[in-house]
Structure 1
Amino acid sequence: MMLLERKLNDQFGSVVTHVKSTAKALDCSGASVMIIHKDRIVSEEYWGKHSKDPNAKPIQVDSQFHIASVRKSYIGFATAFAVFNGYIDSIDDPITKYLSFANEEFLKNIPIRQLLTHNHGLHTIDGKLIREFAPGQSWAYRDINIELLTQIIKNSTGKTIAQILNEEVFKPLGFRETGWYDEPNDKLVQVIKEQNDKFWSTSKGTDGDKKNMYVSTRELAFWGYTHLKQGFIDGTQMVSKEILKLATTLQSPNSLNTALPQNGFLWFVKDIPAKRTEIGYHVPKGAFQILGYTNVALLVIPKHDIVAVRMFNRFGSTPGYDYLWDIRGFGDVVSECVKE
């Protein structure tokens, strides 16, 4: 486990207040927040329970939250690993170089870059593949690109997402509260959702390509810290600097409308101001962030030497909750707490 000095203070008190306000708006059963600033844990709080059952376990330091799309940051790392090590020649290679399909005209001439930056234009409705827009001409957040990417990684490297992350990150850093789970256990926080939510699905499989990833607050913060420090931890290069840098460098096509979100290897990256970005307007250039549908978020701000994590166990939004406004607000409050 990563060794960081824990020196709590009230500098980021308004961030804790913001997260608690969001937790109330989401009607979740438990939440947490952790902030690392200048190599110190300066804020760390846990509240609520693992579920709405009166006898549920309290949220605590080793509670693991379902992180939903935050898992894409790990898939981004695995893709960067494949590129850096030459398993993938270039992210501008067409996906058909690494995948074979029968009679799928829609998949031709789509480069891996467009899967990473959500510009591919593909969508599935009722199990049928359709094209929403011409490749590279717009932006849409869909699952099909993740399905294709994970298969490309398996085909090119001969390894699963989980194998790559275990070998390159989890074992070197001693992560034991990060992983993919087939069955519930007493450390996993229950996801609170609407009854018969059509978007919620349970997944099984520990290859790292399914939506069943759970992470503790501290290990998600340490994952962000690993990126912030480019893998140089406790005086040793623990994780490849080149892979981490590649994963968080802006990769969106130059031709993309500047109002649309900008991405690295699935991470949202702050570059020029973008109307549809999920990153706060006051968050400085060079920051990167990942957000999940359970409202979990990881924000890294290199300029201010900050990693900020918020955890919730609510799947989706409650009536009146504007997730885009709220996640931007989270980043802005974090940025405003920094004393120059």
Structure 2
Amino acid sequence: MKIKGASCENGFTGFKEITSYTENIKEEMGASGAALVILQDDRIMHEWYAGTHHFEQGAREIDAASRFNVYSVRVTYIGLALAIAVKEGYLKLDDKLRDYLNEYDPEILGETTIRHLVTRSTGLKFRENNVFRVFDLGTNLEGKRPDLLAKVLYKATGFTVNEWISEKVCKQLKLENTGWVTEGERHLVCDVTSPKSYPTLRIGSNIGDERNLYVNARELATWGNLHLNKGRFEGRQVLPREVFDLATSVQSPNSVPSTFPKFGFFWWIKDDDVTYEYNELGSNLPYGSYQILGASGCSCLVIPKFNAVAVRMYNSLNESKDFDYVKDIQSFGNIVASSLARFSRRNEK
């Protein structure tokens, strides 16, 4: 990928709106730092950084080397690990969970499959070594359980998520600022809940099943671009195209109501019109777009229609009821889409 730098391509000023929006949301959600990268046609078209790693005196300024905890964005890394395992024949998407999660009651797991797990439609509630059914299989949406998917991957392949992704992806793409963090270092951005809060780092194991994946903005954009290009990187096919066809196409079972959001391997995918009360995808995003959002405000948005990826980074865990996370991420997607549409029209003239 060719890095173009932090200014708008060829003097285009249409990305000012999304930059201004990103900066305003930084203040509104109480983040100390933010980053924005917009990539199109394998080039960074716009790049912006603001703030510091935390609110304390002497905090490092946010720059291209700053690594944010991406929280739920990590589920797409676990999802891709599974998609690779499916392609390589270690398991099948419609394998039963009871064949992999032996610690849970097989009768309650029943006909629940890996497909239900990656599309958030198992209808199950897991608590320690107990499992309960809370709604009929494949009829509603639930929270993400990537830790269970990590167990499935290990049972099928003998590799942890971190081992699998490091070998299959990170080494191929030369991603040196992506990884599950086990100790602190100067490029890690702290989590904050308010300007008066004590900054923290979420440190954990390097297995790949915990919420401690830290990535810088450029490498998250590279991650999205790998999906956009269906496994091609710098002119070579580093992973089979079929892996990405699987991970970024709708995999939700047909039993899920048509008005509900649809998912690939944890990616939210813009498909049919959605009236479900919770939907992270902006109404103006073109069909076929897909996105993932993390608790700290980090997100990765892929828009195939414009051959583009938009990444934003924040470090706020402020759970204020006054901040509407759904409205925010929808607005972000809509502004990105309108900016890219203007840029495309400008180039057609």
Q: Output the TM-score relative to the length of structure 2.
A: 0.90
Residue matched to 2:121: 119
Q: Which amino acid aligns with 1:257?
A: P
Secondary structure of the structure 2 residue equivalent to 1:303: helix
Tell me how far 1:137 sits from its aligned partner. 1.1
Q: Indicate whether 1:250 and 2:250 are aligned.
A: yes
Residue matched to 1:306: 308
For residues 38 and 210 of structure 1, the distance between their equivalents in structure 2, rounded to whole angstroms, comes to: 33
Tell me how far 1:121 sits from its aligned partner. 1.4
Pick the aligned partner of 2:286 from 284, 287, 295: 284
Tell me how far 1:243 sits from its aligned partner. 1.2
Residue matched to 1:130: 132
Residue matched to 1:98: 100
Residue matched to 2:82: 79
Q: Which amino acid aligns with 2:260?
A: L
For residues 300 and 13 of structure 1, the distance between their equivalents in structure 2, rounded to whole angstroms, comes to: 19
125 and 208 in structure 1: CA distance in 2 versus 1, 3 angstrom threshold:
closer
Cα displacement string for residues 61-110 of structure 1 (whole angstroms, at most 9, x for unaligned residues):
0100000000001001011011100000x211211122313545322221
For residues 315 and 114 of structure 1, the distance between their equivalents in structure 2, rounded to whole angstroms, comes to: 29
Tell me how far 1:285 sits from its aligned partner. 0.6
Residue matched to 1:324: 326
Q: Which amino acid aligns with 2:250?
A: L
For residues 211 and 86 of structure 2, the distance between their equivalents in structure 1, rounded to whole angstroms, comes to: 24
Q: Indicate whether 1:14 and 2:17 are aligned.
A: yes
Pairing 1:32-111 to 2, within 5 Å after superposition: 32-88=35-91, 90-101=92-103, 103=105, 105-111=107-113
Residue matched to 2:317: 315
For residues 287 and 131 of structure 1, the distance between their equivalents in structure 2, rounded to whole angstroms, comes to: 32
The gaps in structure 2 that reach 5 residues or longer are none
How many residues align? The count is 333
Residue matched to 1:227: 227
Residue matched to 1:189: 189
Q: Quote the sequence identity (%).
A: 35
Q: Which amino acid aligns with 1:77?
A: L
Secondary structure of the structure 1 residue equivalent to 2:262: coil
130 and 56 in structure 1: CA distance in 2 versus 1, 3 angstrom threshold:
same
For residues 40 and 54 of structure 2, the distance between their equivalents in structure 1, rounded to whole angstroms, comes to: 31
For residues 239 and 51 of structure 1, the distance between their equivalents in structure 2, rounded to whole angstroms, comes to: 37
Tell me how far 1:309 sits from its aligned partner. 0.5
Secondary structure of the structure 2 residue equivalent to 1:294: coil
Residue matched to 1:336: 338
For residues 247 and 266 of structure 1, the distance between their equivalents in structure 2, rounded to whole angstroms, comes to: 8
Cα displacement string for residues 244-281 of structure 1 (whole angstroms, at most 9, x for unaligned residues):
22111110111211222210011111111112321100
Secondary structure of the structure 1 residue equivalent to 2:50: strand
